Amino acid sequence: MEAGRGETEAELNQTGTIVQFDNVGLRYGTGAETLSDLSFSLRQGGFYFLTGPSGAGKTSLLRLLYLAQRPSRGLIRLFGEDIVTMPRKRLPGFRRRIGVVFQDFRLVQHLSAFDNVALPLRVAGVEESDLQGPVSEMLAWVGLGHRASARPATLSGGEQQRVAIARAVIARPELLVADEPTGNVDPDMAKRLLHLFDSLNKLGTTIVVATHDLHLISSIAGYEMLRLDRGQLLDPTGALRHPPKRAEA
């Protein structure tokens, strides 16, 4: 954890809210709003699926969550702090607390699978001697222990996706954001990866997974659903805006 986060951490612990959107809108250029009037909260330690038809704005919402984009309007609080007006020099510290599985993987093509997975740890300044074990273990866990030195171009789509997931979770993020994380893997591996997410969730990581796979959704107990349609959140009960306190396990 970073220094200087005392008050916001206290606020976060008090409310149990890790993400809060208030009337958030997002517009690219001068076009129509891609996201409109989004207001919801995500509980710390929650497991959320984000669903909706293609073009509903799922990826745009995830981009707001992993700080690749600032909204055109509205308020976003992340880890208890307003990230809309936050100076850009403070963003890296927040990004290190978020793991991201990109829909297009975004693996660094000239790096091996090992180096891709090690990337978040190296960015965070972990010594080489301290990252060999965890990275090898993580690669073995996603079934790629034998392909550690392979470049992404030589990996299949499913293998690349597993490297991307290993990279997203290696630094034990507080918030994991995944865009269609099981789209290119077989059902068995999809279950295995989801089990990994579930294990992380049980350790306290808040998980947000955008997916079309209803079968995948049904395999997780205690999840919550965010439904997007044409840039708006379908939340007829208001439960997302005012989430109930999580029952103690």
Partner 1 sequence: MKGGVRKFGAADRRLLPEGRLAGPMPWVIAIMMFLTVLAAAAGLGLGGAAASLGADIGDRVTIQVLEPNPDRREAEAARALETLGRTPEVVSARRLGQEEMARLLEPWLGSGGVEADLPIPAMIDAQLIPGARADAVRPRLAAVAPSARVDDNGEWLAPLGRLISALKWLAIGLVLLMVGATAATVVLAARAALDTHRGTIEVLHLMGATDVQVARLFQRRIALDALFGAIIGFIGAALALFLVGQRISALGSDLIGSASLPVLTWAALALLPLLGVLLAMFVARATILRALGRML
Task: For residue 80, count CB atoms less than 10 angstroms from its CB and return exposed for 0-12, middle for 13-18, buried for 19 or more.
Answer: buried
Residue of 8, 69, 219, 232 that binds partner 1 (CB under 8 A): 69
- For residue 229, the minimal CB distance to partner 1 (Å) is 27
Q: Crossing angle for the helix pair 113-123 and 128-141, nearest 10 degrees? A: 130
Instruction: Give whichever of 125 and 244 is closer to partner 1, judged by the CB atom.
Output: 125
Looking at residue 18, its amino acid is I
SS3 34: strand
Site for partner 1 in 83-142 (CB under 8 A): 88-89, 91-97, 100, 106, 108, 110-111, 115, 119-120, 122-128
Instruction: Give whichever of 124 and 239 is closer to partner 1, judged by the CB atom.
Output: 124
Site for partner 1 in 177-206 (CB under 8 A): none
- Listing DSSP states for 75-99 in one string gives EEEETTEE-SSS-GGGHHHHHTTEE
Using CB under 8 A as the binding rule, whether residue 29 contacts partner 1 is answered as: no
Instruction: Give whichever of 57 and 120 is closer to partner 1, judged by the CB atom.
Output: 120
Strands 33-43 and 47-51: unpaired
The stretch near partner 1 (CB under 8 A) out of 22-30, 64-72, 213-221, 235-243 is: 64-72
Contact indicator for 209, 48 with CB cutoff of 8 Å: yes
Q: What residue ranges bind partner 1 (CB under 8 A)?
A: 2-3, 66-70, 88-89, 91-97, 100, 106, 108, 110-111, 115, 119-120, 122-128
